[in-house]
Amino acid sequence: MKIILLWQGLIEIGLSFLAALFIFFISFKFFSLLTKNIDENREINNNNVAISIVVSTFILGIMFMVRSAIGSSMDTLSTIMNTQQVEVSQVLFSLLRILLFFLLSSVFAFIILWFTLKAFMILTTNIDEWKEIKQNNVSISIIMGTLLLSSTLLLSSPLATLLDGMVPPPLLIIGEIQKAQPIFNTAVILKGAIQLCITLAGIILTFFLSFTAFKLSTKKIDDTSELKADNTAIAVLLSSFILGIMLMMQSVIGPADQTLHFALNANKQVVAAVFFAILRIFAFFIGTAIFAFILLQLAMRLFMLIFSKIDEIAAIKKNNLAVSIIIAVLIISIALIFQHGISSILGTWVASPQVGSGIL
């Protein structure tokens, strides 16, 4: 048994446990402050499932984003623990760095998800979400919860990049030479900030396209009216489309990261290279969203054709949850299977690197 690894694991578990409790408590309190028209504690005590779903998915989304952003800080602890001459001050500094990562990532995650939620409400002008949630409209809460969780799939990576450049690594000892890293890595921060802004815009655009296209494909159903009437079947179906498209959009992250990295590494005209890289990434998002919707629509239509004895749209309009769950599972499964293929196709459109004296 490696004692160092054992101690490292125990330290990580202890820090993670304390941080998780702290983040959960703070997230709940801040969420309550931002929703002053709703008393979350009273609504939950009155068995308001809708508010419970929104709050829970919001906190869960923050936890997912925090988890993805703390990898490098934990690696630093491993480096310190495996150094031949380990000092207590180094370990303490590393622990403080990890806690700082937890704090920064949770704050950024909260702001990002809240902004995403507000953007969603601006786009859905025909629905007063908080009024519906207060009336225990579970269907609306399912849509909001799906948006929050699916957004974390795309936002976790750029947030991790942004935070990697903001928090300095601890002091490293190489032989008898102490080597400290710069306090901030401006290039990494810039890369993460650009990725974050592009991804946020891509999520909002994707949601708008998804919602609009879904309405066009289900003309026999007035989605807004059904959601207001708490039709959970239509909520599950719409949520599966949003989640499925977001899962496919996750394929954009790798090619987008490469495109931006090559632009920041360009040997000349860095500003122009970054501008065209941003346009290319937006094209990735739009093209993938359209392709994903067509693919998911095709899968759903084929399903309906095979099971012709069931009028799925009519059943969903009658709030047949069983039918919507089957279709939802099909949609999400198709999205998961096609992720890698979409990523490969997008990779062919990544511009070749021109490594030089760019920002990175």
- Does residue 177 surpass a pLDDT of 50? no
| Residue 288, token pair as written in the block | 């993938």
Burial of 179 from C-beta contacts in 10 A (0-12 / 13-18 / 19+): exposed
Tell me what the mean pLDDT of segment 260-277 comes to: 76
Contact between residue 48 and residue 136 where contact means Cβ atoms under 8 Å apart = yes
Count CB-CB contacts under 10 A for residue 12.
Answer: 16
Tell me the β-bridge partners of 266: 355
Half-sphere exposure of 113 (CA within 13 A, CB side): 34
Tell me what the mean pLDDT of segment 206-215 comes to: 76
pLDDT of residue 351: 62
* Nearest Cα residue to 277 out of 343, 207, 349: 349
Instruction: Write the pLDDT tens digit of every residue in 11-39.
Output: 777 877 887 888 888 888 878 777 777 88
For residues 171 and 349, the model is more confident at 349
pLDDT of residue 75: 64
Burial of 37 from C-beta contacts in 10 A (0-12 / 13-18 / 19+): exposed
Position 77 confidence tier, pLDDT thresholds 50, 70, 90:
low
End-to-end CA separation in angstroms for the chain: 41
Structure pTM? 0.82
For the residues of 154-207, what is the DSSP string, one character each?
HHHHHHHHHHHHHS----EEETTEEEPPPS--HHHHHHHHHHHHHHHHHHHHHH
pLDDT of residue 137: 93
- Does residue 176 surpass a pLDDT of 50? no
Contact between residue 194 and residue 260 where contact means Cβ atoms under 8 Å apart = yes
Give the list of residues 6+ apart from residue 84 with CB closer than 8 angstroms, or none.
none
Tell me what the mean pLDDT of segment 257-279 comes to: 78
| Residue 321, token pair as written in the block | 């949850």
Residue whose token pair is 């419970």 = 52
Distance between CA 297 and CA 211 in Å, rounded? 13
pLDDT of residue 352: 59
Distance between CA 275 and CA 260 in Å, rounded? 9
For residues 360 and 155, the model is more confident at 155
DSSP state for residue 87 in the 8-state scheme: -
Instruction: Write the pLDDT tens digit of every residue in 115-149.
Output: 888 888 887 778 888 889 989 999 999 999 998 98
Contact between residue 324 and residue 243 where contact means Cβ atoms under 8 Å apart = no
List, in sequence order, the alpha helices (H) in the chain.
3-34, 40-45, 49-69, 71-81, 88-123, 129-134, 138-166, 186-217, 223-228, 232-249, 253-264, 270-306, 312-317, 321-347
